[in-house]
Amino acid sequence: MIALLLSIDPTLYAALGLPSENPAQPAPEPQLGQDGSGPLINSTQDFWKGKQGQRNTYPAAKESMRQRMALLITNIKFTTLSDRAGAERDEKNMYKLLVALGYEVVIHTNLTGKEIDATVIEFSKHKKLKETDSVVVVIMSHGKLGAVLGVDWKRDTPKNEEPDEFSIDNIYLHLGPKGCPALLDKPKIILIQACRGDKKGSELVKDGVSSDDASHCAGHEDFEEDGLRFVNSEKDFLALLSCTPNTVSYRHPVLGSLLIRYFVEVVNASAHVDHIDELAIQVQQRFEDSRIKIQMPTKDRVTLTKHFYFFPGI
């Protein structure tokens, strides 16, 4: 009973001056960090060495890992759509993670669709891409199927104007073998936090536009066919999209989006021994286990032909 009192009300326990020796005290619960968070764990030299020269693993020489490049684009403030509260947190967490993984991060905030396109093209011409072993491209914004929205996106774009959006296809175009020979045969990891439609609603904020805009998506339904058509000219990509087609992605106004939170946590905990496919599965499992079963990230257009490890700390 004394042990129970101690566990329920330590203040009362102390005030009563009960005997301090108490045999039945339960062992403390292991601190998993309620939300699964913890510091980034480094790979061991042995682990890294063991993977070099293996045919099923992308090579990661130390020199090329010192030249890693990443692109991080975050749209927070929009002219007509709601601002993406919590996005600063995502940007900060993603930036910290990429730096910890050894990437030099090119960072941009609040871009229009055209500017996103220009930024990806500029990135594809960066000098260091010749040396890097891999790239990570993260784009976070409002979105719809097949596109992320620029900051000037409007619900009713006049007929003579292009909607302010960036077609996700363009990433594959700009970073593929034609647009970016420097990245030939190198893994290109794409992370997109944005809605791909408007199905379902919730109290959390979603990263998309609502209702009638869904009709805009029709033209982009050919995602999968495109994948087949590009199979020869497109290789070594893995995209993790925050949700399945036509559904919304959720973002907590303070803690940031679920995908980015889970991704950072999973990479911190497991990237020292697991390759990116496995990490993506672990992120998906976090959504499956989650109380809120409203969103399921999707691996998309995976053309990795080997395992890609981040090898943190090497």
Task: Provide CB contacts within 8 A for 27, sequence distance 6+.
Answer: none
Q: Which is nearer to ligand NAG, 7 or 37 (CB)?
A: 37
User: Among all residues, whose Cβ is closest to ligand NAG?
Assistant: 313
Q: Which is nearer to ligand NAG, 43 or 247 (CB)?
A: 43
Given the residues 108, 142, 220, 272, the one annotated as active site? 142
What single-letter DSSP state applies at residue 57?
B
The CA distance from 177 to 233, in Å, is: 7
CB of 117 to ligand NAG, least distance (A): 18
The CA distance from 106 to 121, in Å, is: 13
Distances (CA, A) of 175 to 68, 172, 268: 15, 5, 27
The CA distance from 199 to 284, in Å, is: 19
* CA quadruple 288, 216, 115, 303: dihedral sign: positive
> Exposed, middle or buried, 270 (CB in 10 Å: 0-12/13-18/19+)?
middle
Distances (CA, A) of 148 to 75, 99, 164, 297: 10, 24, 9, 16
Select from 202, 290, 197 the least CA-distant residue to 248: 197
142 is known as an active-site residue? yes
CB of 55 to ligand NAG, least distance (A): 27
CB of 157 to ligand NAG, least distance (A): 22
Given the residues 108, 174, 180, 195, the one annotated as active site? 195
Select from 143, 66, 73 the least CA-distant residue to 102: 66
CB atoms within 10 A of CB 29: 6
Q: Which is nearer to ligand NAG, 42 or 157 (CB)?
A: 42
Q: Which is nearer to ligand NAG, 12 or 61 (CB)?
A: 61
CB of 33 to ligand NAG, least distance (A): 7
The CA distance from 233 to 174, in Å, is: 12
CB of 21 to ligand NAG, least distance (A): 37
CB of 264 to ligand NAG, least distance (A): 5
Q: Which is nearer to ligand NAG, 115 or 236 (CB)?
A: 115
Give the footprint of ligand NAG on this chain (CB under 6 A): 37-40, 42, 76-77, 96, 100, 109-110, 264-265, 268, 313
| Helix H or strand E encompassing 63 | helix 62-65
| Helix H or strand E encompassing 236 | none
Q: Which is nearer to ligand NAG, 245 or 313 (CB)?
A: 313
Q: Active-site residues: which are they?
A: 142, 195
